[in-house]
Amino acid sequence: MNELILYITELNIAITLFFVSYLMFFRKDTNFSSRRLYLLSAMIISFLVPMITIRVPNPATVFQSPMVFLEEIIFTDHNPTAPAESFSGISGILTMAFLAGAFLFAVRFLFGLTTILIQSLRSKQTVLQKTNVYINTRLHASSFFNIIFINPEKEPAKNIIYILHHESQHVRLLHSVDRLLAEVLTIIGWFNPVVWMYKKAVIVNHEYQADQQVVEQGTDHVSYQLTILNQYMGSALITNQFSNQIKKRINMLNKAHKKGSFRKALWLFPVSFILLFFMACGNETADDQNPASKQKLITAEKEIFFVVEEMPTFNGGDAGVEFRKYIGENLEYPEVAAENGISGRVVVQFTVNAKGVVEDAAIVRSADPALDEEALRVVMSSPTWQPGKQEGKKVNVQFTFPINFVLK
């Protein structure tokens, strides 16, 4: 569950940064195509970037000699009650609360899709202005992909033409794609107020863009505004509704359109990518910040080798097999980690000295303090090895050993 919480956290951080930038540079902008490009791209980037890990080598280790890596061991908590207990901690409670909210909003989303499907099947199809429309007296004027709902009983013929032109722009511009992404975003980030403001910004911009396209086609400016005033808010969940944001739409129609603002969006993208680049790198480089990863003593009195002519052996056999077996038999899953649903990969670095004793064990990749402590404990409890030899002389040899703690 840690990976899920991390993904959700980073996604919400990303969308918040993008929205702050949007408010700073686009809130009063009248280039709605540019605004849409920014909002849509920002959502896609926010979904994808938390999944990316960019591996950046630690400068302190780039020029080190190659180390000996023992094959990773995967240790599973075999306690049958562990999964249930893992939700008793703070992390588990937060995870359950998130999943409950996400489930409710997912059901709401599916209900909206189902409603559209049912109403489209029940509606009578006809052709107006060479456009296929669905006559429905239960829904207000709205559209979803290539489905346009019209209620002729509530509008005079002239207004219907304006509404049809408006909804046709939603269809032509594929605004429903943005709406679906915004709905998924609210399911994942339902607890974040910024996510809801972001969704509203997407919807409002769609209305501005459609209005602008209608007016630019030669529609009478005043008559079109009167048609908007005659509308009222509908109730469809995820359709593009003609009556959305009436006051703001009329105000925006009376502003001049600025084509030059598109360059503003182009400038924001590299800035946003740089910010998110550091976020993607953070997952990989954070482990290198552990001071233990830099603890390596090489002096004239203590020479450490990475590869020698005769590698150390453990229990009379290959270290990659016998030491892994020993770790698997003696490792214990920390109770506090199991209770809080904590898992992860710990990498331990240690030295088998000239006497065959394990020493200088340190964490070079951390997962959690409890997991780190257990990994160090079991490694340091190792019995004596048969030391390695270089030119017939017993020497110190360093190993790196990954331990993957997994909850089931």
CATH number (domain holding residue 348): 3.30.1150
Q: Are both 27 and 129 inside the same structural domain?
A: yes
The residue from 255, 278, 301 where one domain ends is: 278
Q: Are both 224 and 301 inside the same structural domain?
A: no
The reported pLDDT for the residue numbered 162 is 87
Q: Are both 32 and 139 inside the same structural domain?
A: yes
Q: Find, among 390, 385, 366, 384, the residue nearest to 376 by Cα.
A: 366
CB 314 within 8 A of CB 385: yes
* Full pLDDT tens readout for the chain, 408 residues: 567 888 898 899 999 989 998 998 887 788 888 899 999 999 999 998 888 766 555 444 444 444 555 566 666 665 433 334 444 457 678 888 999 999 999 999 999 999 999 999 999 999 988 889 999 888 888 899 999 999 888 777 778 888 899 999 999 999 999 999 999 999 999 999 999 999 999 999 999 899 888 888 887 777 787 777 666 444 445 666 555 466 677 777 766 555 545 666 666 677 667 766 766 665 444 444 443 333 334 444 578 888 888 999 999 888 888 998 898 889 889 988 888 888 888 999 999 999 999 999 999 999 899 999 999 999 999 999 999 999 889 999 999 888 888 876
Domain annotation covers residue 284: no
Domain holding 312, by residue range, is: 68-83+290-407
Q: Are both 170 and 308 inside the same structural domain?
A: no
**Count of domains for the chain:** 2
Domain annotation covers residue 247: yes
Taking phi over 0 as left and psi of -120 to 50 as alpha, with beta for the rest, 316 belongs to left
Domain annotation covers residue 63: no
The reported pLDDT for the residue numbered 236 is 46
Task: Output Rg (C-alpha) for the chain, integer angstroms.
Answer: 31
The reported pLDDT for the residue numbered 128 is 86
The residue from 243, 278, 313 where one domain ends is: 278
First to last CA, the chain: 11
Q: Rounded CA gap, 289 and 34, in Å?
A: 40
Q: Are both 11 and 157 inside the same structural domain?
A: yes
Q: Are both 241 and 352 inside the same structural domain?
A: no
Q: Are both 45 and 79 inside the same structural domain?
A: no
* 405 SS3 class: strand
Q: Are both 116 and 145 inside the same structural domain?
A: yes
The residue from 244, 278, 312 where one domain ends is: 278
Neighbours of 285 (CB within 10 A): 16
Domain annotation covers residue 365: yes
Q: What are the residue ranges of helices labelled H in 75-156?
A: 82-85, 90-122
Task: Give the DSSP H or E segment for 240.
Answer: strand 240-241
Domain annotation covers residue 60: no
The reported pLDDT for the residue numbered 295 is 36
In one letter, which amino acid is 187?
Answer: I
Q: Are both 260 and 298 inside the same structural domain?
A: no
Q: Are both 21 and 146 inside the same structural domain?
A: yes
In this structure, the chain runs to a length of 408
Q: Are both 16 and 129 inside the same structural domain?
A: yes
CB 49 within 8 A of CB 280: yes
Q: Are both 34 and 73 inside the same structural domain?
A: no
Domain annotation covers residue 283: no
Domain annotation covers residue 376: yes
- Tell me the CA distances in angstroms from 210 to 166, 174, 178, one per residue in order: 6, 11, 14
